Amino acid sequence: MKKIAVFASGSGSNFQAILDVVRTGELAADISLLVCDKPGALAIDRARADRVPSFVFQAKDYLSKEEYEKAILAELKRYDVEFIVLAGYMRLLGPTLLTAYQGRIINIHPSLLPAFPGKDAIGKALAAKAKWSGVTIHFVDEGMDTGPIIVQERVKLEAKETRESLQRKIQRIEHKLYPEILQMLLTQGDVIDDKKTRAY
């Protein structure tokens, strides 16, 4: 069973979805660590409730990205973490973590990349009057949501779509798809190569 770390910055809804399937045995993984850059984030409470160790930091307390990533890396090594799962972590990763975990870091993003990378993808899709949005799971590189795509699922935006209704649609997919893909990667160790996009 591989040891994973989840990185989050906010409420941790995807973190909770992963916790839930680990608890039921649907996901064969050991969540060894939560890394969070926002003291007071709900994700920390979720970790505490499930007795998952947390490393909480603030970037402003370090001289550079390299310095705080070295601190993160030390914690990852302490817990023998083998795989990193980004779940609403709002910072670009730098060379320190990317080099140490090359090919073993994935992210989930609430749009059909390359459309609407970065923050507030849901708001951007609504503002652009997009007909489709969805979810992308991808490997992480040094760019802003630019890593190789593993899988995508799409949702249709209705005429009266709101931020809340679209977020609910996207989160329903995220909470099912992320654990499913993580299980495949942890057990098979390869990239999904058909890259099919499923529509809802």
Q: Which domains are present in the chain?
A: 1-102 (3.40.50.170), 107-200 (3.40.50.170)
Q: From the first residue on, what is the mean pLDDT of each consecutive set of 10 residues in the chain (200 residues)?
A: 94 93 91 96 95 96 96 97 95 96 95 95 94 96 93 93 94 92 82 45
Please tell me the predicted confidence (pLDDT) of residue 195: 45
8 Å CB contact between 153 and 108: no
Please tell me the predicted confidence (pLDDT) of residue 199: 46
Q: What is the enclosing helix (H) or strand (E) of 133?
A: strand 132-139
Distance set, CA 6 to CA 15, 37, 51, 63, 198 (Å): 7, 12, 14, 24, 26
Please tell me the predicted confidence (pLDDT) of residue 198: 46
Rounded to whole angstroms, the Cα distance separating 121 from 110 reads 6
Q: Give catalytic residues, as residue numbers.
A: 109
Q: pTM of this prediction?
A: 0.91
Q: Is 177 exposed, middle or buried (0-12, 13-18, 19+ CB in 10 A)?
A: buried
Q: What is the enclosing helix (H) or strand (E) of 131?
A: none
Which DSSP symbol is given to 61? G
